[in-house]
Amino acid sequence: MADNDKRLGVALAAATCALLGSAKSPPAAAADDDDRWEIESALLYYGESDDRVQDASLSVNAKRDFGDGKALDFSITADTLSGASPSGAIALDGPQTFTSPSGDKVYTTPGGEIPLDDTFLDTRYAVTANWTQPFAGLYTVSAGASFSDEYDYTHAGGNVRLTRDFNHRNTTLSAALAYSQDESDPVGGVPVGLSRMPDVDDLSNRGGSETKDIVDVVVGVAQVINRTTVVRVNYSFSDSSGYLNDPYKFMSVVDPVTGDTIARTPPPGERGPSGIYRFDNRPDLRTKHGLYAEARTWLGGKVLNVSYRYMTDDWEIDSHTLEARLRWPIGGTSYIEPHLRYYTQTAAEFYRMSLVDGEPLPQYASADYRLAEFGGITAGVKFGHETAGGNEFSIRLEYYQQSGNVADSLLIGNQFNRETSADLNAIIAQFSYRFRF
């Protein structure tokens, strides 16, 4: 942990230097774009209300243009995350006690509220690198790699992208392929799907670490419509296989009439859960298809950007996302950009509020709120200013709200009278600085 803190310290210091170091950079107007580094650095705060997830993130993106379209790009991000997240258990009138994910202690949540697991704290580092270069006149190829590491999760991936221009470069077709392998390694091992939450120090339901493989394909077309408008349409395909459960999510096992969690008392001298809970179990395959369309148009100095995304997958989650930004110049060097985003999704076919005591266990089940039916709205504004030297700083402030909708068919007895979805309200604040040297 101390080692982790030290690494975070170094990463934060490096990113802060990058964020501030720009004051010494020479004016951009004095040189051309080639053979120089362009650095974009940002500090992000993401905070949910009710002591839920808080995240502070520093990111630096460095790009070097070598001329002739050749460019090297890399990024480094350090995240630190804390706070509470809904565990999947239902609210009860009285307090509930759970064994912590590490299996070595218990925590208790108050009655009348959706139980939150507040035991998690994590630090994450992520790096990406990418090389782009044109060839044979109208083609461009790029190849990249990504890696991230956190306490209980590791990701490694690679990607390639090929584009070709047509119609005097008014049309660009692209095809991209990415592969990644991720490993989930929670403390004590991943819990066996649908196994019961055991007492403290009982790790008999735990396995080792688990992996998943993800293949992504994106094909798209970008088209210049006229001097002021450009559009693009992408089709995306994503196939995940392997361990797709969330090792920290579980479900309450409830009475078929009252809908209350079946109570239990740990054996004498033992600490453990106050009810029966069973761990999340999802299919080990998921295939997603997506359609994304975006238009960007110049309206006499203002820029309007609208996009729409439709996604569907074989877990029966369908989603629609609509997004709009309007960049409005103020004077010659500043702008203000309002942003609106609307999102809606249907529930996964195996999503449920709880498991019913006495009924056979379903093959797959999860009470993860992210697999439920819900809607989300983001509203925000960004302000940017370009300095005399051609550098730019910007500030972005957004509000994100999610509200769930649990179908009556998923509720039993007393569950109708209690809070059923832990609605989310979050603030996103970002400060960015872009400079060249």
Partner 1 sequence: MRRILTALLLLALAGCAQVSPWERDILAKREMQLDGAPLDAAFDDHIYFSKEASSGGRGFGGGGCGCN
DSSP 144-171: EEEEEEETTEEEEEEEEEEEEEETTTTE
Binding track over 80-99 against partner 1, x by CB under 8 A: -x---x--------------
Site for partner 1 in 242-301 (CB under 8 A): 246, 248, 288, 290-292, 294, 296, 298
At closest approach, how far in Å is the CB of 168 from partner 1? 6
Closer Cβ to partner 1, 260 or 337, answer by number: 337
Binds partner 1 (CB under 8 A): choice among 348, 406, 412, 422: 348
Helix (H) or strand (E) holding 20: helix 2-20
At closest approach, how far in Å is the CB of 256 from partner 1? 29
Site for partner 1 in 374-433 (CB under 8 A): 376, 382, 396, 400, 402, 424, 428, 430, 432
Distance separating alpha carbons of residues 377 and 399, to the nearest angstrom: 8
Closer Cβ to partner 1, 98 or 248, answer by number: 248
Size of residue set near partner 1 by CB under 8 A: 85
At closest approach, how far in Å is the CB of 240 from partner 1? 8
Quick one: how far is CA 190 from the chain centroid? 21
In the chain, what are the helix, strand and coil shares in percent, each to the nearest 5?
Answer: 10, 60, 35
Task: Indicate the length of the chain as a whole number.
Answer: 437
Residue 331 CB-density burial (10 A; 0-12 exposed, 13-18 middle, 19+ buried): exposed
Site for partner 1 in 18-57 (CB under 8 A): 40, 42, 44, 46, 53, 57
Distance separating alpha carbons of residues 373 and 342, to the nearest angstrom: 14
Interface region with partner 1, contact rule CB under 8 A, candidates 12-20, 118-126, 403-411, 412-420: 118-126
Distance separating alpha carbons of residues 340 and 391, to the nearest angstrom: 26
Which of 233, 191, 181, 190 has the alpha carbon at shortest distance from 212?
Answer: 181
Is the Cβ–Cβ distance between 371 and 339 less than 8 Å? no
Site for partner 1 in 194-223 (CB under 8 A): 214, 216, 218, 221-223
Closer Cβ to partner 1, 192 or 222, answer by number: 222
When asked if residue 132 is in the footprint of partner 1 (CB under 8 A), the reply is no
When asked if residue 184 is in the footprint of partner 1 (CB under 8 A), the reply is yes
| β partners of residue 229 | 226, 297
Binds partner 1 (CB under 8 A): choice among 230, 326, 356, 410: 230
Interface region with partner 1, contact rule CB under 8 A, candidates 89-97, 154-162, 193-201, 258-266: 154-162
| β partners of residue 160 | 143, 177
